[in-house]
Structure 1
Amino acid sequence: MRAAIAARTIRPIMRTLRIASGGTGDLITAISLDQRIIGGALGNAYASAVWERSTLDPFPGPRPRNAVRGLRPVGRLGQFTERTRIPGGLTQLPQLAASVEPPIWYLDLADGVQGLREQLQAIMDSGGYECVDLVDTGGDILARGDEAGLISPTMDAALLAAVADQDFTATVTVLGLGVDGELSLDHLGSIVRDLEPSGRLRISAGLAAQVYRDYCWVHSESSLLALLGAIGIIGRIDIRPGSELVCVDRRCGTAWTFDANHVYQRNLVARAVRNSTSFAALDNSIKMLGLTSEFGHEVAAARRATAPEGRPKLSEDFLGSILPSATHVSVRRLAKGFRLTGASDLDRLHRVVAGQLGDDYRRPAIPVDLLPAVIQEFQSRAEIQAPPTGSQYDLKAMGF
């Protein structure tokens, strides 16, 4: 990395719309970045689609406008409020909207990338914003799109295509390289060098601790792990079977910013979905690349969904599947070992972990040496409840 670039610090001089590229969790990173700019950037705003993990929302894919309630209307657009709800599911966007002064705009993927482009231009005009910044935690947005470890390319690609070659300035900012466990640090380092970032900044330990205290209740692994690393908490986290361990250390507090057009040009998926006019067409473009989107995985899971009830039982191979050099296991990793499929069960697991670890609990990471006690306590106290499944929703309404 050239020294001049490495030493450069990002200081936005334009009113910026920060978009959570991966959904709710990336809003925490966006808030961290704004707080880094002398306590907050006046006139900035946020935007996000509603695409929650199936544990929180059994509805496959992003929620279209007609499946979101309680948005504040702004012309044809909408903003999240503390009264926003998604029938049949859970999103923490209302709590986030209530926690910050800037508005959080709703993004609808129902009309594909072309619909997103129109929405973004309307938001920019309505709010008088001059720059869009796609905020991503972990760095999977920097991928080509065909890497073996990549599991969530859809929304990143759609948003990249939506901001490319627009009349406004567009950037991509990544915090915590590798904390999402999708791409290796070596691969990400190579991408960063190739893209030649336009700037970087560091989230200080003090700021990271403040944001972590304010938002550790959010169901997000990557964003919280990045903050823990910035604070100075070090570990090797097993977050997903078959994936490399996530290295959490102070490097996680570094944010890199890139020209969005440069990131778009190297992304095969973003270029493939550029002309889509519906979410179904967007997803089909990904299939034509020979890839399976996260939406495809969610639909398949919803159609075969069965949830265990009664006392939780850990899968037989769970403990043996943890990598020997891991220092921690993520709560979501343990939840999948128990086959938990509902938000209430996930919250119950968090409470058990917090009860066992007390003030030493750094959500979402469980020290490996304390894992047996957590498992035993959860098995003795919990009753799994079967949540609603995505089969109750009409996929034909989404164009499938």
Structure 2
Amino acid sequence: MTRLIVAAGGGGDAVAAAMLDAALYGDGDQAVILTYAWDRLLIDPIPGPRSADDFTGLEVITPAVRKVPAEARPIAPAGSTLPRLAWELPHTIALIDPRHGAEGVTRQVEELLTHLQPTTIDLLDVGGDVLARGGEPTLKSPLADSLTLAACGQVNAPIRLLVAGPGLDGELSHEDLRGLLGPVVHTFTAKDVEPIGSVLEWHPSEATGMLAATARGVRGTCEVRDAGLPIPLTDESPTVHEVDLDEALSRNELARTIMATTTLDEAEALSREVCGFSEIDYERNKALWLKEQQPAKLDAGSVLPQLAQFEAEARSRGVTHTTFRHLTEVLNLDGSQRDDLRQLLLHSHPEQYAAPLWSITADGPQKPSRTP
């Protein structure tokens, strides 16, 4: 028996797909996870998603689809988490290559369906920005999700759209999503996190990290991203909802607009028209800014006092947790220093580790609690 899970936004959605597969099915057979190689600047210094030409060692699944085995490597200076995911997870990792726009992604999905004949097909988005109209002021990264939604909307197959961790991506709040979500399919628990526990120790995804933390019982407010966005961690956070795919497509103006695109550049230009911006432009600008910065040296003598100051200020804002990705930016460290920072903090204050988040409450990690 074969299953296909399309990770709508790539990155952490692929990790969540592995957790979903084990939680919903858990029959010993592993799903094929179709995902982008789009890890943002913390991992990949090149803006935008990677294509098949950016890797060595990919394997042919179909004429348009490549498998990412553990032996694959991104061609420098590109970076990617996918080979390590393929090494640590038992799933088959297949690459979404968006070079040929929505039509190209549609062709990849159709070829996989013909090749695999899957018994189930899920399109998974962590957070829910796949349901954005396109003009929301909090929307930051609609292009990847809109491309996969546009592609799946053109495939003649029963594809189930699932939103996990509503609001955790910080793009649409749970209140914004409340009337759009269908029935709860599953609520993740600590047991569901076990299959991806080792991945969460190094993977930079903030949304999937918060999803896992809330499945383990963490509640509070988590500050994320370079801008310090506060994300509520509630009893709704570890839930998975089914959403009608056709309704999502009718709501998502960008997805409808890019359905006939044949290049990524064309899809990006339409994103600027519909949403007023392109997330790849943001990455381009940030990459240029980062080149001009002088990263701080990771030294316990200077980092720990800066951390204490940040924690005090964050507590005054009502924040209880943050991510190591956010701490890396707050402390003006290079993205490559994230793992070293994590090891330093776990060694110095292990009681503050609310895996995979960092607790900044005065009394250590937030205890599980019920929200009203």
- TM-score class normalised by the smaller sequence: 0.7 to 0.9
Is residue 2:358 matched to residue 1:366? yes
Match of 2:42 in 1: 55
Match of 1:125 in 2: 114
In the TM superposition, what is the alpha-carbon distance from 1:318 to its structure 2 partner?
A: 6.1
Secondary structure in structure 2 of the residue aligned to 1:62: coil
Match of 1:44 in 2: 31
Contact 2:295 2:333 in 1 (8 A): no
Alignment CA distance shift 1:50-1:30 (3 Å): same
Is residue 2:94 matched to residue 1:102? no
Q: Give the alignment partner of residue 21 of structure 2, picking from 34, 58, 61.
A: 34
Deviations 1:87-123 (A, max 9, x none): 2133221122123333111110001001111111111
Q: CA RMSD in A?
A: 2.6
Contact 1:179 1:225 in 2 (8 A): yes
- Residues of 2 paired with 1:134 and 1:38: CA distance? 15
Match of 1:201 in 2: 186
Q: Give the alignment partner of residue 264 of structure 1, picking from 231, 234, 249.
A: 249
Secondary structure in structure 2 of the residue aligned to 1:352: helix
Alignment CA distance shift 1:200-1:81 (3 Å): same
- Residues of 2 paired with 1:31 and 1:85: CA distance? 21
- Residues of 1 paired with 2:45 and 2:125: CA distance? 24
Secondary structure in structure 2 of the residue aligned to 1:277: coil
State the one-letter code of the partner of 2:297.
R
Is residue 2:286 matched to residue 1:298? no
Q: Give the alignment partner of residue 73 of structure 2, picking from 85, 92, 98.
A: 85
Contact 1:209 1:227 in 2 (8 A): no
The two structures have a TM-score, normalised by structure 2, of 0.86
Match of 1:21 in 2: 8
Deviations 1:249-307 (A, max 9, x none): 33222101122222111001111211111010000011122521210101122334323
Is residue 2:201 matched to residue 1:212? no
Match of 2:335 in 1: 342
Match of 2:345 in 1: 353
Match of 1:280 in 2: 265
The worse-fitting range, judged by mean Cα deviation, of 306-315 and 65-74 is 306-315
Contact 1:178 1:185 in 2 (8 A): yes
The two structures have a TM-score, normalised by structure 1, of 0.80
Alignment CA distance shift 1:145-1:69 (3 Å): same
Secondary structure in structure 2 of the residue aligned to 1:55: helix
Match of 2:154 in 1: 165
Aligned residues: 353
- Residues of 1 paired with 2:349 and 2:163: CA distance? 31
Secondary structure in structure 2 of the residue aligned to 1:245: strand
- Residues of 2 paired with 1:91 and 1:267: CA distance? 28
How do 1:147-162 and structure 2 match up within 5 A?
Answer: 147-162=136-151
Identity of aligned residues (%): 25
- Residues of 2 paired with 1:201 and 1:84: CA distance? 33
State the one-letter code of the partner of 1:307.
Q
- Residues of 2 paired with 1:365 and 1:43: CA distance? 27
Alignment CA distance shift 1:86-1:164 (3 Å): same
Structure 2: state its 5+ residue gaps: 364-372
- Residues of 1 paired with 2:159 and 2:174: CA distance? 25
Alignment CA distance shift 1:205-1:105 (3 Å): same
